[in-house]
Each structure stands twice: as structure tokens, then as C-alpha cells.
Amino acid sequence: MVRMELYQQDCLEGMAGLRDASVEVVITSPPYNLGVRYSAYRDDGGRGAYLQWARCWGRELRRVLRPGGSFFLNLGATPASPLLPHQMALLMSRFFRLQNTIHWVKSIALSRPGGEIVSAGHFKPLNSRRYLTDCHEYLFHFTPEGNTPIDRLAVGVPYTDKSNIRRWQHTGGRDLRCRGNNWFIPYPTIRQRSAERPHPATFPVELAAMCLKLHGVDHCSTVLDPFLGLGSSALAADRCGAGRFIGYEIDGEYLAEARARLERNARAV
């Protein structure tokens, strides 16, 4: 049973009460400073003030993260404001080493050898004469020193060409290879956004679960999400059997929905 600790509290206030090096994994997706309409947070402030704020919680995350820990930071952008994820990556590099850059692919179009084009996933349509529709977000994997071991095959995929299993010695006879750093995880289809996904910028539970698996579920003693939202990271921690989960969220409605999702998940098990 995962020890769940969900608080309606500013993350800076909450993390101030955590001991140094007491967290194994951080998974979070902060506000993007792109004008998203949250109910209890203004997401349209100046970029300088936003980065200064991020510096404060980034410094705290570095303090509470263990030497062999992992910090997974999900960030998106807009075509008109594409630099934020890169600015944030550079900022967090003051406190951490960027060990892996993962692309969360929400929608993709594939051309088959015969010419057939297959489109999978979901995206927000964009009517523009300048920009392409944005179908992905970044997932930056930071670690304290850049040498944290990971379990690549925990999120592995089967070989398409099965002869590779025998051909390559490193397979050990297993039909499993590294997934790479492009993770196709579409949103589940929803009929009514306000009822089924009331938070305007959630990420799928599977995305957070894959982060925990990549770090190694046996090493997820304490998981932290300083920007809990609707609790996708909490659900992932519960699914993966983490020892303890800590989440902070300033919006009471979002926090209530996060707790309700956990209760529904517990009843469904």
C-alpha cells in the first residue's frame, strides 16, 4: 500500500519541510507560462519572473533529491512561444545534469512501404499560415550527477525483426529492446472535457508510470510531484507500488479530483 500524502499547499512551503536527500523520484509538469486558464493560478506573467520562480523550486528539488535520484520534467510549448522548454532545461541545468531528453509524442502520421499513411493519436487543431500543429511535448530527465542507472527494458518494446534476437548477443535471447526517447502516448478519447478532464493541462498516467519504470520501480521509495494537478503522478505511483507519494497542489478543486481519482482507482482494483 502506497503511503499517499496530498497537500493543498504551495510547493515551496511544502518542500521546506522535507529533509535533504529524502526523495527518490520527482515527476512533475509545472504551469507553462503560456496563458493556460487555470482556476487558481495566473499563467500569463512575465517570462523573467516565471524563470525566477522556477529557479526557486528547482533549487529546492535539488536539495530534497537523493544522489541517485531522477527528476522528470514535462514541458510543452506553443508555436508562437517555442523556447520555454529549452529555457527551463538550461535553468534546471544549474542544479542538475540533463541525462535524457524524451519526446512525448501525442499524435503521429506514419507512411507504410506501400504508400498508405496511418495517423494515430490526438492533437489540438491549429489553423495557421505560419506554424505546424504541435503534436509533442518534452520530458527532460534530470539527475544530480548525470550517472543515475536506469532500467531501459522496463519500458522496452518487442523486436519487429525477430532475427535480431539471435543475431545480437546483448539481447540475451529476450524479445525486448530499448524503446528509445520517442514515447508515443496518446490521450484517451474523451467526450466532455469539463467532466472527464477538468484540468486544462494534464498528462496521462501512463507517462508518469513509464518514468517510474525507467528509474526502476524497486527504487521508488519516495515519489514527489510539486505540481500535482489531477494526480496522474499519484495514480502512477500507486500503480507501480511506490513506498510513499508526496504531492502539492494549490487548487482545492484539482486536489479533490485527484483524491477522487485515487479512490475510484482503489475501488476498481
What does the mean pLDDT of the chain come to? 90
Residue 174 confidence (pLDDT): 86
Torsion from C-alpha of 106, 107, 108, 109, nearest 10 degrees: 180
CA distance 89 to 103: 14
How would you list the strands of the sheet with 97-105, edge to edge? 3-7, 244-248, 222-225, 23-28, 65-75, 136-143, 97-105, 182-184
pLDDT confidence band for 160 (50 / 70 / 90)? confident
**Rounded mean pLDDT of 27-38?**
74
Is 263 exposed, middle or buried (CB count within 10 Å of its CB: 0-12, 13-18, 19+)? exposed
pLDDT confidence band for 131 (50 / 70 / 90)? very high
Q: Is 121 helix (H, G, I), strand (E, B) or coil?
A: strand
| Bridge partners, residue 100, by sequence | 141
**Percent of the chain predicted with pLDDT > 90:** 70
pLDDT at 38 over 50: no
The sign one gets for the Cα dihedral 30, 34, 38, 42 is: positive
**Rounded mean pLDDT of 60-88?**
94
**Rounded mean pLDDT of 215-236?**
96
Check residue 46 and give left, alpha or beta (phi > 0: left; psi -120 to 50: alpha): beta
Interval 75-124: pLDDT, tens:
998 887 899 999 999 999 999 999 999 999 999 999 988 889 999 998 78
Residue 145 confidence (pLDDT): 97
pTM of the entire predicted model: 0.91
The C-alpha cell at 239 is 500503480
User: Of 14, 39, 41, 35, which is closest to residue 26 (Cα–Cα)?
Assistant: 14
Amino acid occupying residue 241: G
Q: Is 266 helix (H, G, I), strand (E, B) or coil?
A: helix
Q: CA triplet 229, 235, 65: central angle to 5 degrees?
A: 75
Cα–Cα distance list, 25 to 56, 150, 184, 221 (Å) = 18, 12, 22, 8
Cα–Cα distance list, 219 to 22, 23, 25, 255 (Å) = 13, 10, 9, 26
Helix axes 252-268, 232-240, angle to 10 degrees: 30
pLDDT confidence band for 41 (50 / 70 / 90)? very low
Q: For residues 101 and 90, is the Cβ–Cβ distance under 8 A?
A: no
Is 265 exposed, middle or buried (CB count within 10 Å of its CB: 0-12, 13-18, 19+)? middle
Residue 165 confidence (pLDDT): 79
